[in-house]
Amino acid sequence: MQYLNEDIWFPNVNKASPEGLLAIGGDLSIERLLLAYKTGIFPWFETNEPILWWSPDPRFVLYPEKLKVSKSMKQVFRNKDYKVTVNKDFRAVITQCALVKRNGQDGTWVTDAMIEAYVKLHKLGYAKSIEVWNNNDLVAGFYGVDLNNGVFCGESMFTKESNASKVGFISFIQNTNYKLIDCQVYTNHLESLGAEEISRDTFLKFLNKSI
Protein backbone atom coordinates (compact mmCIF):
# COMPACT_ATOMS: atom_id res chain seq x y z
CA MET A 1 0.00 0.00 0.00
CA GLN A 2 1.40 3.36 -1.04
CA TYR A 3 0.63 6.71 0.62
CA LEU A 4 0.66 9.65 -1.77
CA ASN A 5 1.79 13.20 -1.06
CA GLU A 6 1.65 16.37 -3.16
CA ASP A 7 3.86 14.85 -5.88
CA ILE A 8 1.88 13.72 -8.95
CA TRP A 9 2.66 10.01 -9.33
CA PHE A 10 1.22 6.52 -8.78
CA PRO A 11 2.87 3.20 -7.98
CA ASN A 12 2.81 0.39 -10.52
CA VAL A 13 -0.70 -1.09 -10.67
CA ASN A 14 0.73 -4.57 -10.04
CA LYS A 15 1.23 -3.44 -6.44
CA ALA A 16 -2.54 -3.17 -5.91
CA SER A 17 -4.16 -5.37 -3.28
CA PRO A 18 -6.24 -8.40 -4.37
CA GLU A 19 -9.30 -6.13 -4.13
CA GLY A 20 -7.65 -3.56 -6.39
CA LEU A 21 -6.69 -0.90 -3.84
CA LEU A 22 -3.46 0.71 -4.99
CA ALA A 23 -2.82 3.91 -3.02
CA ILE A 24 -4.16 6.30 -0.40
CA GLY A 25 -4.04 10.07 -0.24
CA GLY A 26 -2.89 12.69 -2.69
CA ASP A 27 -5.48 15.06 -4.11
CA LEU A 28 -8.12 15.40 -6.83
CA SER A 29 -6.18 17.84 -8.98
CA ILE A 30 -6.74 17.79 -12.72
CA GLU A 31 -3.16 16.61 -13.29
CA ARG A 32 -3.47 13.68 -10.89
CA LEU A 33 -6.90 12.61 -12.16
CA LEU A 34 -5.76 12.59 -15.79
CA LEU A 35 -2.64 10.62 -14.90
CA ALA A 36 -4.79 8.15 -12.99
CA TYR A 37 -7.23 7.47 -15.81
CA LYS A 38 -4.50 7.25 -18.43
CA THR A 39 -2.79 4.54 -16.36
CA GLY A 40 -5.91 2.53 -15.51
CA ILE A 41 -6.49 3.97 -12.03
CA PHE A 42 -9.56 5.69 -10.57
CA PRO A 43 -10.59 7.25 -7.22
CA TRP A 44 -13.33 5.63 -5.16
CA PHE A 45 -13.99 6.51 -1.54
CA GLU A 46 -16.83 7.57 0.72
CA THR A 47 -17.43 10.75 2.70
CA ASN A 48 -14.99 11.15 5.62
CA GLU A 49 -12.57 8.63 4.12
CA PRO A 50 -9.15 9.51 2.68
CA ILE A 51 -8.86 9.44 -1.11
CA LEU A 52 -8.54 5.82 -2.22
CA TRP A 53 -7.12 4.90 -5.64
CA TRP A 54 -8.06 1.63 -7.37
CA SER A 55 -6.93 -0.55 -10.25
CA PRO A 56 -8.94 -3.79 -10.02
CA ASP A 57 -8.13 -7.10 -11.65
CA PRO A 58 -10.22 -8.23 -13.44
CA ARG A 59 -11.57 -5.07 -15.07
CA PHE A 60 -15.23 -4.78 -16.08
CA VAL A 61 -15.66 -3.36 -19.59
CA LEU A 62 -18.07 -3.18 -22.49
CA TYR A 63 -17.08 -3.46 -26.12
CA PRO A 64 -19.74 -1.39 -27.95
CA GLU A 65 -20.17 -4.03 -30.65
CA LYS A 66 -21.18 -6.52 -27.93
CA LEU A 67 -24.02 -4.36 -26.57
CA LYS A 68 -27.12 -6.42 -25.71
CA VAL A 69 -30.58 -4.89 -26.06
CA SER A 70 -33.31 -7.13 -24.69
CA LYS A 71 -36.79 -7.42 -26.19
CA SER A 72 -38.22 -5.66 -23.17
CA MET A 73 -35.84 -2.72 -23.65
CA LYS A 74 -36.71 -2.51 -27.33
CA GLN A 75 -40.32 -2.21 -26.21
CA VAL A 76 -39.38 0.59 -23.79
CA PHE A 77 -37.80 2.50 -26.69
CA ARG A 78 -40.98 2.08 -28.71
CA ASN A 79 -43.38 3.06 -25.94
CA LYS A 80 -41.48 5.77 -24.04
CA ASP A 81 -40.76 9.18 -25.50
CA TYR A 82 -37.47 9.90 -23.75
CA LYS A 83 -35.00 12.48 -25.02
CA VAL A 84 -31.28 11.73 -24.59
CA THR A 85 -28.75 14.56 -24.59
CA VAL A 86 -24.99 14.87 -24.12
CA ASN A 87 -23.35 17.51 -21.91
CA LYS A 88 -26.53 19.51 -21.46
CA ASP A 89 -26.25 19.69 -17.65
CA PHE A 90 -23.16 17.96 -16.28
CA ARG A 91 -23.46 19.41 -12.77
CA ALA A 92 -27.07 18.27 -12.44
CA VAL A 93 -26.15 14.72 -13.45
CA ILE A 94 -23.20 14.33 -11.10
CA THR A 95 -25.21 15.93 -8.27
CA GLN A 96 -28.05 13.44 -8.78
CA CYS A 97 -25.51 10.59 -8.79
CA ALA A 98 -24.30 11.81 -5.40
CA LEU A 99 -27.84 11.62 -3.99
CA VAL A 100 -28.45 7.98 -4.96
CA LYS A 101 -28.81 5.60 -2.00
CA ARG A 102 -26.75 2.48 -2.71
CA ASN A 103 -26.83 -0.88 -0.94
CA GLY A 104 -23.91 -1.39 1.42
CA GLN A 105 -22.91 2.29 1.49
CA ASP A 106 -23.61 4.59 4.42
CA GLY A 107 -22.71 7.73 2.50
CA THR A 108 -21.81 8.70 -1.03
CA TRP A 109 -18.51 8.37 -2.84
CA VAL A 110 -19.50 11.30 -5.09
CA THR A 111 -18.40 13.85 -2.48
CA ASP A 112 -18.51 17.62 -2.84
CA ALA A 113 -14.79 17.57 -3.64
CA MET A 114 -15.38 14.94 -6.32
CA ILE A 115 -18.17 17.00 -7.84
CA GLU A 116 -16.03 20.11 -8.12
CA ALA A 117 -13.05 18.15 -9.50
CA TYR A 118 -15.11 16.47 -12.23
CA VAL A 119 -16.90 19.72 -13.12
CA LYS A 120 -13.41 21.14 -13.77
CA LEU A 121 -12.60 18.09 -15.92
CA HIS A 122 -15.83 18.65 -17.80
CA LYS A 123 -15.03 22.30 -18.49
CA LEU A 124 -11.68 21.20 -19.90
CA GLY A 125 -13.33 18.63 -22.16
CA TYR A 126 -12.28 15.52 -20.23
CA ALA A 127 -15.59 14.60 -18.58
CA LYS A 128 -18.93 14.01 -20.25
CA SER A 129 -22.51 13.67 -19.08
CA ILE A 130 -25.46 11.91 -20.70
CA GLU A 131 -28.94 13.07 -19.69
CA VAL A 132 -32.32 11.37 -20.12
CA TRP A 133 -35.35 13.65 -20.14
CA ASN A 134 -39.06 12.95 -19.78
CA ASN A 135 -40.52 16.17 -21.12
CA ASN A 136 -38.49 18.77 -19.18
CA ASP A 137 -37.68 16.53 -16.23
CA LEU A 138 -34.20 15.01 -15.82
CA VAL A 139 -35.08 11.40 -14.98
CA ALA A 140 -31.75 9.59 -15.49
CA GLY A 141 -28.17 10.10 -16.50
CA PHE A 142 -24.56 9.14 -16.07
CA TYR A 143 -21.13 10.70 -16.40
CA GLY A 144 -17.58 9.63 -17.02
CA VAL A 145 -14.13 10.57 -18.22
CA ASP A 146 -13.36 10.87 -21.92
CA LEU A 147 -9.66 10.23 -22.55
CA ASN A 148 -10.00 11.37 -26.17
CA ASN A 149 -8.42 8.10 -27.25
CA GLY A 150 -11.39 5.84 -27.93
CA VAL A 151 -11.94 4.92 -24.28
CA PHE A 152 -14.78 6.22 -22.11
CA CYS A 153 -14.42 5.62 -18.37
CA GLY A 154 -17.90 5.42 -16.85
CA GLU A 155 -18.15 6.71 -13.29
CA SER A 156 -21.69 6.76 -11.93
CA MET A 157 -25.33 6.79 -13.00
CA PHE A 158 -28.74 7.52 -11.51
CA THR A 159 -32.34 6.96 -12.46
CA LYS A 160 -35.70 8.18 -11.20
CA GLU A 161 -37.78 6.04 -13.56
CA SER A 162 -37.53 2.33 -14.27
CA ASN A 163 -35.24 1.57 -17.24
CA ALA A 164 -34.56 5.25 -17.94
CA SER A 165 -30.83 4.89 -17.21
CA LYS A 166 -30.70 1.91 -19.58
CA VAL A 167 -32.29 4.08 -22.28
CA GLY A 168 -29.52 6.62 -21.84
CA PHE A 169 -26.75 4.05 -21.76
CA ILE A 170 -28.00 2.10 -24.78
CA SER A 171 -28.54 5.28 -26.80
CA PHE A 172 -25.05 6.46 -25.89
CA ILE A 173 -23.44 3.17 -26.94
CA GLN A 174 -25.41 2.91 -30.19
CA ASN A 175 -24.30 6.39 -31.22
CA THR A 176 -20.72 6.30 -30.04
CA ASN A 177 -17.35 6.06 -31.72
CA TYR A 178 -15.67 4.72 -28.58
CA LYS A 179 -13.88 1.41 -28.87
CA LEU A 180 -14.15 0.49 -25.21
CA ILE A 181 -16.32 1.52 -22.25
CA ASP A 182 -14.59 1.09 -18.91
CA CYS A 183 -17.22 0.05 -16.36
CA GLN A 184 -14.54 -0.49 -13.69
CA VAL A 185 -16.17 -3.13 -11.44
CA TYR A 186 -18.83 -5.78 -11.94
CA THR A 187 -22.55 -5.01 -11.73
CA ASN A 188 -25.51 -7.18 -12.75
CA HIS A 189 -27.07 -4.14 -14.42
CA LEU A 190 -24.20 -3.66 -16.88
CA GLU A 191 -23.60 -7.38 -17.40
CA SER A 192 -27.17 -7.61 -18.71
CA LEU A 193 -26.19 -5.03 -21.32
CA GLY A 194 -23.15 -6.97 -22.49
CA ALA A 195 -20.33 -5.87 -20.19
CA GLU A 196 -17.71 -8.48 -19.34
CA GLU A 197 -14.62 -8.99 -17.22
CA ILE A 198 -11.15 -8.89 -18.76
CA SER A 199 -7.76 -9.05 -17.10
CA ARG A 200 -6.13 -5.84 -15.93
CA ASP A 201 -3.20 -6.54 -18.26
CA THR A 202 -5.56 -6.81 -21.25
CA PHE A 203 -7.25 -3.56 -20.26
CA LEU A 204 -3.95 -1.74 -19.83
CA LYS A 205 -2.63 -3.00 -23.17
CA PHE A 206 -5.78 -1.68 -24.84
CA LEU A 207 -5.46 1.61 -22.96
CA ASN A 208 -1.79 2.04 -23.83
CA LYS A 209 -2.41 1.19 -27.46
CA SER A 210 -5.21 3.75 -27.63
CA ILE A 211 -3.10 6.45 -26.01
Give the orientation angle of helix 164-174 with respect to helix 71-79, to 10 degrees: 100
What pLDDT, in 10s, does the model give residues 146-190? 988 899 999 999 999 999 999 999 999 999 999 999 999 999 989
What pLDDT, in 10s, does the model give residues 127-137? 999 999 999 99
Which pLDDT value is given to residue 109? 73
Kindly state the DSSP code that residue 64 receives in the 8-state scheme.
G
Which pLDDT value is given to residue 48? 83
What pLDDT, in 10s, does the model give residues 64-97? 999 999 999 999 999 889 999 999 999 999 999 9
Phi, psi of 2, deg, nearest 5: -110, 140
Which pLDDT value is given to residue 102? 56
Q: Which bin fits 40, alpha (ψ -120 to 50), beta or left (φ > 0)?
A: left
> Could you give the strand order of the β-sheet that contains 83-86, starting from the edge strand earlier in sequence?
83-86, 127-134, 137-146, 151-159, 180-184, 59-62, 196-198
Contact (Cβ atoms closer than 8 angstroms) between residue 178 and residue 151:
yes
Side chain identity at residue 137, one-letter code: D
CATH topology of domain 60-210: Aminopeptidase (3.40.630)
Which pLDDT value is given to residue 211? 58
- The answer, yes or no, to whether residue 110 has pLDDT greater than 70, is yes
Q: How many residues does the chain have?
A: 211
- In sequence order, what DSSP letters do the residues of 165-195 get, joined into one string? HHHHHHHHHHT---SEEEEES--HHHHTTT-
Q: 2-58 belongs to which CATH class?
A: alpha beta
What pLDDT, in 10s, does the model give residues 17-43? 999 999 999 999 999 999 999 999 999
Kindly state the DSSP code that residue 14 receives in the 8-state scheme.
G
Which pLDDT value is given to residue 205? 93
Which pLDDT value is given to residue 104? 52
Helix (H, G, I), strand (E, B) or coil at 137: strand
Domain ranges of the chain: 2-58, 60-210
CA distance 105 to 100: 10
